[in-house]
Chain A
Amino acid sequence: MTEALDNQISGSERARRAGPSVTLGTEAPLLLDCGIELGPFTVAYQTYGELNADKSNAVLVCHALTGDQYATDTNPVTGKPGWWHLAVGPGRTIDTDRYFVMCANVLGGCMGTTGPSDTDPQTGEPHGLKFPMITIADMVHAQAMLLDHLGIEQLFCVIGGSMGGMQVLQWVASFPERVFAAVPIAAAARHSAQNIAFHEVGRQAIVADRDWHGGDYLVHGTHPAKGLAVARMAAHITYMSEPSLRRKFGRKLQDRSNLSYGFDADFQVESYLRHQGSTFVDRFDANSYLYITRAMDYFDLAADRSGRLADVFTNSKSRFCLISFASDWLFPTSEVREVVHALNAVAANVSFVEIETDKGHDAFLLDEPEFHDTVSGFINGAAEHRGLHAR
């Protein structure tokens, strides 16, 4: 327990490392889907590249469940390259020499944007479970308020994978006129029963950790690191595919030539998962994990339109490029196709590619040339239609 505490970065230190942020909702609060008004609240964000004179080259990158605003360059908390450094940068898939790229930590997060670990000004204590429930639409509304603050009327492109892709779809649904091009990657229009089930396993692991203290672990000076690590381990399995696990680990043993006949991490795959779990708890807040997984579970784009997904896109003039990965069983191609079919039903301008890869759901974060070629080709084509010329 003390080790977990030592490893954990204090809230103030985290805030220092969160970089630039803006206070929003001071005059008019954000009305959350749960009915609660939030404001003022903070959004921490990073920008890369330069905004052009007519503000037409803005790209919003939406991060996934455990991502943050550090899409590229060095993440000051982990000391490692940003989560999408392979895609975002000068001359890369999302070219920061051409586009003004923004990435904001989501509402409910733990990297500087208002979330459950922040101090409630009324009580002087962390919000914990008193923090209001957040939805994907709330995250997107907060991002829209950030754009208003930056004076950007229309995004040239909104792009993101997994939960980032959910935000992209929500952007088109909530603000169709503010999106010129949309790239939802490995994302569906609703969270499936299987995905909710995996999230529930993770949440129960956190809640079952004695150090969680009903969500008030910060008050108790503890951290449910064990539970959060198990949640991360279970989730991480869903981000990979069986073939990639077999290719990377097989039944290979970890630092030993024989089975231990015990419960040590005999197998490399066990050691790998334990490492994933233990490094994750150093950078992520357990309550944020609960809130953000819940936001994903609640996501069902067609729910407000009596279940007809096509109605969501009726007013959309955006150019779409949807991408799935053949070995992704978290957001399988069949679910991405449902979105494609809905877009076809309103004759939207849509491209769709299933990328052949065995790397599973996380393929969008990896060096997958077919994927990067497709995205950069689509963005270049869209830029031409938008009248954005290469420098």
Chain B
Amino acid sequence: MNAQSPVSGAGGVRVDLLLIADMIEPGARVLDVGCGDGALLEHLAQTKQADGRGIELSQAAVKACVSRGLSVIQGDADQDLHDYPTQAFDYVVLSQTLQATHNPKDVLEHMVRIGRSAIVSFPNFGYWRVRWQLMTNGRMPRTDTLAEVWYQTPNIHLCTIRDFLALCRELGISIDQQIFIDRAGKPGRIRGGRLANLFADLSLFRLAQTKWSL
């Protein structure tokens, strides 16, 4: 489900996953939604002694995870999050998967319910290269983070950073940390605001629920 980011960091782990790992303190309980081949979970287990669980759609990926001793269930964000108890995890991670869910709003709400913090990364559809391609070619944009053609992409709910922030406001979700990643895979060179929405290829947010509507 995950789009492939062009740049890999230490040990071949994707840059956004390393940034996510930096947000997580040792020994934390982590639920990785759409965990793919378990790269983040394994990294967290090795470097942070985290108690990690995963949810992944692909049978082959789940099998690979379980065969490596990771605790992963075959399922998806839309179907399987509602079972988890409130505040059961320290972190619920959704890396480059939000745009592929059927109901991103429900998924976000469940993430901040299940976790003390939710960590979400997604490709920014407001990125200037995306806008430029659509404007000049009149064709659906394809970038390194959004590589598939329109009829094959799993990404059905793309959004811009501003769209995402608006949804968080609507849901009473606070932004505790934000990191914008440029095309070179370098974080931190872009500050917030409208420029981020234009220049960030990928964005990463740490979120929490501020008002409880239970």
Contacts and interface: CB of A to CB of B under 8 A. Distances in A.
Interface in A321-353: 321, 337, 340-342, 344-347, 349-353
Given A341-B80, A347-B89, A384-B69, A352 B63 contact: no
Contacts of B69: 377-378, 380-382, 384-385
27 contacts: A337-B75, A340-B73, A341-B80, A342-B83, A345-B84, A346-B85, A350-B73, A351-B70, A351-B71, A353-B74, A355-B59, A355-B63, A370-B63, A373-B63, A373-B67, A374-B66, A374-B67, A376-B67, A377-B66, A377-B67, A377-B68, A377-B69, A378-B69, A381-B69, A381-B70, A382-B69, A384-B69
B210 to A, nearest CB: 23
A367 interface: no
Contacts of A349: 51, 53, 71
Contacts, number: 71
B44 interface: no
A122 to B, nearest CB: 51
A350 to B, nearest CB: 6
Contacts of B88: 347
A347 B85 contact: yes
Interface of B: 51, 53, 59, 62-63, 65-75, 80, 83-85, 88-89
A381 B73 CA distance: 15
Contacts of B83: 341-342, 344-345
B123 to A, nearest CB: 28
B32 to A, nearest CB: 13
Q: Which 4 A-B pairs have the closest CB atoms?
A: A381-B69, A377-B67, A352-B73, A347-B88
Nearest to B29: A347
Q: Count chain B CB atoms within 10 A of each CB in A341, A347, A373, A377 and give the residue with the most.
A: A347
Nearest to A322: B73
Interface in A353-391: 353-356, 370, 373-374, 376-378, 380-382, 384-385
A319 interface: yes
Contacts of B53: 349-350
Given A347-B88, A351-B65, A351-B70, 8 more contacts: A337-B75, A344-B73, A347-B84, A353-B62, A377-B63, A377-B67, A378-B67, A384-B69
A293 to B, nearest CB: 30
A355 B74 CA distance: 10
Given A345-B84, A347-B85, A353 B71 contact: no
B79 to A, nearest CB: 9
Contact of B59 (A347, A354, A377): A354
A356 B89 CA distance: 31
A385 B71 CA distance: 12
A356 B65 CA distance: 16
Nearest to A333: B74
Contacts of A385: 69
A356 B59 contact: yes
A353 B85 contact: no
Contacts of B68: 377, 381
A30 B65 CA distance: 41
Contacts of B72: 351-352
